[in-house]
Chain A
Amino acid sequence: MVVGDVTTGTEVLVIGAGPGGYVAAIRAAQEGLDTTLVEKDAYGGACLNRGCIPSKALITGSGLAHEAGNAEFMGVHADPAVDMGKMIEWKDGVVDRLTSGVEKLCKANGVNLIEGEASFVDEDTVRVAHGGDGQGSETLSFEHAILATGSRPIQIPGFEFADDHVWSSEEALDADTVPDRLGVVGAGYIGMELATTYAKLGADVTVIEMLNDVLGSYEDDVKRIVRKRAEELGVEFHFGEGASEWTEAPDGGYLLHTETEGGEESSYGVDRILVAVGRQPVTDGLDLENPGIETDDRGFVETDDRTRTAVEGIHAVGDVAGDPMLAHAASDEGIVAAEVIAGESAALDRQAVPAAVFTDPEIGTVGMTEAEAEEAGFDPVVGEMPFNASGRAMTTGHTEGFARIVADDETGFVLGGQIIGPEASELIAEVALAVEMGATLEDVAATVHTHPTLAEAVMEAAENARGQAIHTLNR
């Protein structure tokens, strides 16, 4: 043992203070367990500091500017100017308020907070190296550990995030100026959210995607609406191309070189390159081999429906434990982990995890699509309500998209929903509740919805599936 290395013990050790870890720590403390939370960087994790929250702040800011400047049809004439530095400052204020809130919540619940980087010594001990030189380290023994180290953006060969002009989503959310030309590598949800944001902020955005469309596995009619809208905003798409390298251009910018599978090369002039090709689990530096935790071929820690890893006493939650890699799923898993450790009969038995994409328009999905329901052996019935038939949607000026609900034809049980359109991220919550509760189409249809609201579209979709819609033609 090194001098200054103090061994202390804790019942529950949580590594990582993101939405999985801090929720787990707070619940564990609420369960009366002596809980220690180790964070190497910032409370709140990627979600609060570098992901969900900052991106939503910028999406709102850029959206507001864009709306204001494009509302002549309702008689509003404006030419908004965006002070990017100020917008980032405002965003940082929001982030600070939230992260300090997390810290306060942890303390108020009796969670011991340790700043530093944890690595496993064996299956019941970690060493925590405190940040900075000469800060020393401490050894912590634990009865249970919850691994919640999250994920980080994937870097691709030839594009080092260390270079100033190569951005990960993290830098894209912290830029104090808007680049004139932004190259985006990857048209997944992160790439699309940021491409839309920067297009609205005035950048010329070029999106490179190896696949043939945006948004990977989403349904075609959903993808089409998002792509079309992005194109309207001036985003240029190049599908079937992979980013190969960048070079400096004579104009002071850069050339983003791409290659198709067939070897055709292209290059696009850009000022910044955002690489958004996915996220990978953070397990380096943890010395997972010491307790004997194994990872799968993608680097994720495998867990069971009680969030347990193969090593007794060690759980893993959130992105590090693999799909769906969503903050709210991580929090759910964190609660399950804490309760399982406390001896409660918790389990990951959720029926569906809703997901939202904050593109323009937004996407909200939960549960099964029609095709997935068929695959699962249901005889699905589908109902839709297009927002162009919604009074409230018309009054917002946004009528793209639809609300769709998928149910089992025989029983009427709601199996899932896909909503694309204004406030889809909010609207999907109702469908999620229906799916989780085992509600039927009739239950949704017979629930009185406020008029005039966008939420009426969910009710109408349910009616439509029953062949009883009032405001749309029943199919």
Chain B
Amino acid sequence: MTVKEFKLPDVGEGVAEGELVSWLVAPGDRVEEDQPVAEVETDKALVEVPSSYDGVVEELFADEGQMVPVGDVIISFRVDEDGDGGGGTTTTDEASDADPGDASPQPTPSDDSASESDADRADAEPDTPSGRTFAPPSARRLARELGVDVAAVDGSGPDGRVSEADVRAHADRSGRAGDATAATNADDAGDGPAPRPTLTDAGSDGRKSAVSKREAGGAAVSSGTAADGPEPAGRETTLVTPATRKVARDRGVDLDDVPTDEVRDGEAFVTAGGVRAYADALEAAVESDSAEPARVDSEPVEPEPTDDMADPASAGDATKATTASGDETVPYRGVRRTIGKQMERSKFTAPHVTHHDTAEVDSLVDAREDLKPTAEADGVKLTYMPFVMKAIVAGLKRHPYLNSELREDDEEIVLKNDYNLGIAVATDAGLMVPVVENVDEKGVFELAEAVNDLAARARERKPWGWVPSRSAPSSGTARSSPRRRSRCRYRSTTGSSTARSRPSSPTPS
């Protein structure tokens, strides 16, 4: 038996970190090589990180909802190694290795089931484990009720015997794992497996994982709902000096909430001192809240009343929180941040021009009306979009410099031969720009189908394939194409490799 550590792999081009959205395994679970162990949101897609080892999950080093730098250890496995027999002492956890229940085919979360499990879980009828299960009947019944495969539960009893509490804990974990978007739900994020590793722990054993680095910033300002915090004043308007406004900004305080008796020109007036006193009171309230779990664990944690030292436990609550004024703060991560950065870069690197023109499209309307029945017969919904795309290609062909790339360093302009168009799609997570390739080679129906398909994928936040970013016209919006790397797997209904299984030029059947 050896313990193997596993680092967050480089899951996408230029991605330095990813948000660990959910764990798909729990300590004690047996995993096979390539079995997805975690979902990481890096770019525009949720990426499943597969295990590199066959073994048993030893420890998870990151919390759900946490930003993890690429290269940080996120999970460790105990790995069977032949010929290493005399080596290690038998730990209690290894019981599960010998359990033939583990040897029997276990429901390995496939790509599909992982994404569907949350929806189905309530109705799912878990199979009765065929192998020997070391759990009392009461726990097995509970497992059935909660839709938990009792063979997958990490038992806390002697040699891994599964108790009812273990089943509940497993159900809680997998419930949150299944609910990938639950990261925005403060309640859910809060009562998961207690983020055991405190700052001290993480530091002492040298596993400087993201656990200790986790985004602590949000916590202090955000948990303003603490029961015994100061009452926000909640005014409509407040008069302040610019210096006071800065203090309020720095301390994350809404000026309208700061209590004051002073009035100037008939308006409430707040001083810098008043803001600081209010902020201190807020933070004191937060501190008493966040210190609570630490005390239960009797861990010697002393939360400093500063933003960047907040206890991980409370930070875990802060995925979405409410400020004193009732505003919500949401972590700026993942897709939203990618979009922001790309927008910003685009503003700096490309000249932005808006041009309006008017065109007579009566014939186009007629043409579309004529074609619609034919398209419908093929199961294709024909919008104006494919025609516009065709028009753009025609324009680009006439003006090749509009379909070019400036390589400043090489002092050359590359005039592109490919006509790949980004199509903006509004999704719940923001504006996505999947790319339709080889627009010049596709027919109108093919384009219509491709656009519909990509738009649907973008809305579901599934990868839509990837194109080398340089071959696409580089205009400003957030377009970043996930690249396939050997050690990451994209969730997709069509298999692990969307690119392979989905031809880039789908032909209408």
Which one of A147-155, A254-262, A294-302, A341-349 is at the B interface?
A341-349
Which one of A58-66, A310-318, A408-416, A453-461 is at the B interface?
A408-416
Among B94, B103, B137, contact of A377 (Cβ-Cβ < 8 Å): B103
A347-B128, A413-B134, A438-B136 as given contacts; A376 in contact with B100, CB under 8 Å? yes
CB-based nearest A residue for B99: A411
| Range, interface on chain A | 20 to 34
> How would residues 140 to 163 of chain B score, 1 for a CB under 8 Å from any chain A CB and 0 otherwise?
110011000000000001111110
Residues of A within 8 A of B127 (CB): 305
B160 touches A411 (CB 8 A): yes
Residues of A within 8 A of B133 (CB): 349, 351, 438
Q: In the complex, A305 Cα to B144 Cα: how many Å?
A: 12
A376-B100, A436-B137 as given contacts; A349 in contact with B129, CB under 8 Å? yes
Residues of A within 8 A of B162 (CB): 438
Q: In the complex, A349 Cα to B128 Cα: how many Å?
A: 6
CB distance from B307 to the nearest CB of A (A): 47
Q: In the complex, A266 Cα to B20 Cα: how many Å?
A: 80
Residues of A within 8 A of B135 (CB): 438
Interface: A468 (CB within 8 A) = no
Among A305, A408, A436, contact of B128 (Cβ-Cβ < 8 Å): A305
Q: In the complex, A335 Cα to B276 Cα: how many Å?
A: 67
Residues of A within 8 A of B125 (CB): 306, 345
Residues of B within 8 A of A345 (CB): 125, 141, 144-145
B141 touches A378 (CB 8 A): no
Interface: A41 (CB within 8 A) = no
Interface: B98 (CB within 8 A) = yes
CB-based nearest A residue for B133: A351
Q: In the complex, A340 Cα to B145 Cα: how many Å?
A: 12
Residues of A within 8 A of B98 (CB): 378-379, 408, 410-411
Interface: A389 (CB within 8 A) = no
CB-based nearest B residue for A443: B158
CB-based nearest A residue for B104: A377
> How would residues 25 to 65 of chain B score, 1 for a CB under 8 Å from any chain A CB and 0 otherwise?
00000000000000000000000000000000000000000
> How would residues 356 to 388 of chain A score, 1 for a CB under 8 Å from any chain B CB and 0 otherwise?
000000000000000000001111000000000
CB distance from B251 to the nearest CB of A (A): 52
A411 touches B145 (CB 8 A): no
Residues of A within 8 A of B131 (CB): 376
- List B residues 110-140 near A (Cβ within 8 Å): 125, 127-129, 131-137, 140
Among B95, B141, B158, contact of A410 (Cβ-Cβ < 8 Å): B95
Interface: A109 (CB within 8 A) = no
B159 touches A412 (CB 8 A): yes
Q: In the complex, A331 Cα to B296 Cα: how many Å?
A: 47
A348 touches B100 (CB 8 A): no
Residues of B within 8 A of A351 (CB): 132-133
Q: In the complex, A351 Cα to B130 Cα: how many Å?
A: 9
Interface: A472 (CB within 8 A) = no
Residues of A within 8 A of B128 (CB): 305, 347-349
CB distance from B53 to the nearest CB of A (A): 22
Q: In the complex, A68 Cα to B137 Cα: how many Å?
A: 43
> How would residues 396 to 408 of chain A score, 1 for a CB under 8 Å from any chain B CB and 0 otherwise?
0000000000001
- List B residues 362-406 near A (Cβ within 8 Å): none
B132 touches A415 (CB 8 A): yes
CB distance from A366 to the nearest CB of B (A): 13
Interface: A175 (CB within 8 A) = no
Interface: B298 (CB within 8 A) = no
Interface: A108 (CB within 8 A) = no
Residues of B within 8 A of A411 (CB): 95, 98-99, 134, 158-160
Q: In the complex, A346 Cα to B157 Cα: how many Å?
A: 24
Interface: B486 (CB within 8 A) = no
CB distance from A60 to the nearest CB of B (A): 31
| Range, interface on chain B | 20 to 34
B132 touches A376 (CB 8 A): yes
Interface: A244 (CB within 8 A) = no
CB distance from A256 to the nearest CB of B (A): 44
Residues of B within 8 A of A408 (CB): 98
Interface: A440 (CB within 8 A) = yes
Q: In the complex, A345 Cα to B146 Cα: how many Å?
A: 9
Among B103, B141, B161, contact of A438 (Cβ-Cβ < 8 Å): B161
> How would residues 281 to 309 of chain A score, 1 for a CB under 8 Å from any chain B CB and 0 otherwise?
00000000000000000000000011000
CB-based nearest B residue for A435: B132
Among A347, A379, A413, contact of B159 (Cβ-Cβ < 8 Å): A413
- List B residues 142-188 near A (Cβ within 8 Å): 144-145, 157-162
B159 touches A349 (CB 8 A): no
CB distance from B134 to the nearest CB of A (A): 4
Interface: A437 (CB within 8 A) = yes
Q: In the complex, A410 Cα to B136 Cα: how many Å?
A: 19
A410-B98, A411-B98 as given contacts; A440 in contact with B158, CB under 8 Å? yes
> How would residues 431 to 466 of chain A score, 1 for a CB under 8 Å from any chain B CB and 0 otherwise?
000001110101100000000000000000000000
Residues of A within 8 A of B158 (CB): 411-412, 440, 442-443
Q: In the complex, A411 Cα to B158 Cα: how many Å?
A: 8
A349-B129, A410-B90 as given contacts; A436 in contact with B136, CB under 8 Å? yes
Residues of B within 8 A of A436 (CB): 136-137
Residues of B within 8 A of A413 (CB): 132, 134, 159, 161
Residues of B within 8 A of A440 (CB): 158-159, 161
Q: In the complex, A412 Cα to B100 Cα: how many Å?
A: 14
CB-based nearest B residue for A350: B137
Most chain A CB inside 10 Å of its own CB: which residue of B128, B132, B159: B132
Q: In the complex, A419 Cα to B97 Cα: how many Å?
A: 30
CB distance from B482 to the nearest CB of A (A): 40
Q: In the complex, A383 Cα to B491 Cα: how many Å?
A: 51
A348-B128, A349-B140 as given contacts; A378 in contact with B159, CB under 8 Å? no
CB-based nearest A residue for B140: A349
CB distance from B369 to the nearest CB of A (A): 49
Residues of B within 8 A of A347 (CB): 128, 144
Residues of A within 8 A of B144 (CB): 345-347, 349
CB distance from A80 to the nearest CB of B (A): 44
CB distance from B140 to the nearest CB of A (A): 5
Q: In the complex, A437 Cα to B125 Cα: how many Å?
A: 23
- List B residues 265-292 near A (Cβ within 8 Å): none
Residues of A within 8 A of B161 (CB): 413, 438, 440
CB distance from A442 to the nearest CB of B (A): 8
A438 touches B100 (CB 8 A): no
CB-based nearest B residue for A375: B100
Q: In the complex, A353 Cα to B293 Cα: how many Å?
A: 45
CB-based nearest A residue for B150: A349
A437 touches B136 (CB 8 A): yes
Q: In the complex, A436 Cα to B144 Cα: how many Å?
A: 16
Residues of A within 8 A of B141 (CB): 345-346
A413-B159, A440-B159 as given contacts; A378 in contact with B95, CB under 8 Å? no
Q: In the complex, A379 Cα to B95 Cα: how many Å?
A: 12
CB distance from B124 to the nearest CB of A (A): 10
CB-based nearest A residue for B138: A437
CB distance from A323 to the nearest CB of B (A): 16
CB distance from A410 to the nearest CB of B (A): 4
CB distance from B136 to the nearest CB of A (A): 5
Q: In the complex, A269 Cα to B131 Cα: how many Å?
A: 50
Q: In the complex, A306 Cα to B134 Cα: how many Å?
A: 21
* Contacts A345-B141, A346-B144, A440-B161 supplied; 16 other A-B pairs, CB < 8 Å: A305-B128, A306-B125, A345-B145, A350-B137, A379-B98, A410-B98, A411-B95, A411-B160, A412-B159, A413-B132, A436-B136, A437-B136, A437-B137, A438-B162, A440-B159, A442-B158
- Would you list 15 pairs from A and B whose C-beta atoms are within 8 A, ordered by A residue? A305-B127, A346-B144, A349-B128, A349-B140, A351-B133, A376-B100, A376-B131, A379-B98, A410-B98, A412-B159, A413-B132, A436-B136, A436-B137, A438-B133, A440-B161
Q: Which 9 A-B pairs have the closest CB atoms?
A: A438-B134, A377-B100, A411-B159, A345-B144, A305-B128, A349-B128, A410-B98, A437-B136, A411-B95
A positions within 8 Å CB-CB of B: 305-306, 345-351, 376-379, 408, 410-413, 415, 436-438, 440, 442-443
